[in-house]
Amino acid sequence: MDFQLNDEQRLYRDTLRTFVDKEIVPVAREWEQSGRYPTEIVDAMKQLGLFGLAVPEEYGGMAADTVSFALTFEEISRGWMGIAGILGSHSVSCWMLGRHGTDEQKRKYLPDLATGARRTGIALTEPGAGTDLQGIRTTARRDGDDYVVNGTKMWITNARYADPLPVLVKTDATATPAHKGMSILLVEAGTPGFEVTQDIGKLGYKGPESCEVVLTDVRVPASQLLGGVEGRGLQQALSSLETGRINIAARSVGIAQRAYDEALNYARDRQAFGQAIGEFQAVQMRLAEIAVRLQAARLMTYWAASRMDDGVRMDTESGMAKIFASESALACATDAMRIHGGYGYSTEFEVERLYRDAPLMAIGEGTNDVLRGVVAKALLAGKATIR
């Protein structure tokens, strides 16, 4: 078992690291605090081809291996986790379209999505349905060659820029079980009745917008049904969330890495009682714990990513990686703040932002408590083994 990056992955990581240190780190704190949208960073990511990360090569994308996919979100989140959110929702949607879309849908959208000329996201969550996606109430009624869509979606990243926006709907609200009546429609920007009504205020995860989207009698051509077959929407969404969990696990590693960097530097530089605080055993214990959690989370994330590259079903592995890495990010951010003492509570230091960004990692792409149940059921059913 080789946990080392290959030469191509190492070069890719180093390129990303240089980009993050030059383009993101110097502006992240100021732009995050002011609520400024990171337009220049988005444009730079387009130039690097990062919007094509999950797009097949035949459509102009990178078709990156999953370990490289994870490296992308780790490095960007080390600079500013919010930026990773802009790319994350786009990439999950591109992966879903590339795997489940019709040939016509792929030809229509993927080339522009690969360059960032188009951007996208994914509209699953509703005011009354988050983790329980089968409880959504957004409906799509067939009317001739169109579907007429009505409903509300919440917490939608990239909502103001997505074109198209894949929307999970119920094409048959009477189906039992409910997932058999669920489909995904590709709703284009500017369609009458499609409205982004508000940006939702957040504790952290600043940079990308998280929006409420209201659909009122939105007419969507039947040709925009993802894959061209009704009743497959939940499976299509859940399959894409396997990559989403790798995304979140990798973002968590990025947060933990930055927490470690900031804590280590502060422990070396900060003087108290005539010596660097890193000379005190209490600080050393916290610093060591951050390092242990960080490296374990990184290895578990790369392991889950490599399993996906092997072509095996890895919902259990991605769930485990997401659980552990996100919990580690929370713990590392908290310990880094404690090492900083009172300065850790100041908006002048990076750890304050890490502390606000980390909790989302335990919530996004399936809450950790729900994922623990998913992992346990897979173990009990013999669908996964730990050896």
Active site residue ranges: 365
How much of the chain is in helix, strand and coil states, percent to nearest 5? 60, 15, 25
Residue 212 main-chain phi, psi, to 5 deg: -90, 135
Q: How far is residue 140's CA from residue 231's CA, in Å, rounded to a whole number?
A: 12
Distance CA 386, CA 92 (A): 28
CA proximity to 266, closest of 256, 278, 284, 282: 278
- Give whole-number Cα distances, 83 to 86, 166, 208, 291, 302, in Å: 5, 21, 7, 24, 21
Alpha-carbon distance values, 264 to 79, 224, 292 (Å): 16, 51, 13
**Looking at this protein, which amino acid is placed at residue 318?**
S
Q: Position 308: which residue type?
A: M
Angle at 240 between CA 234 and CA 242, to 5 degrees: 110
Contact of 90 with 119, CB cutoff 8 Å = yes
Residue type, 72: T
Nearest residue to 148 via CA among 162, 129, 122, 167: 167
> Taken in order 26, 358, 365, 327, is the CA torsion positive or negative?
positive
Spatial contact of 249 and 321, defined as CB atoms under 8 Å apart: yes
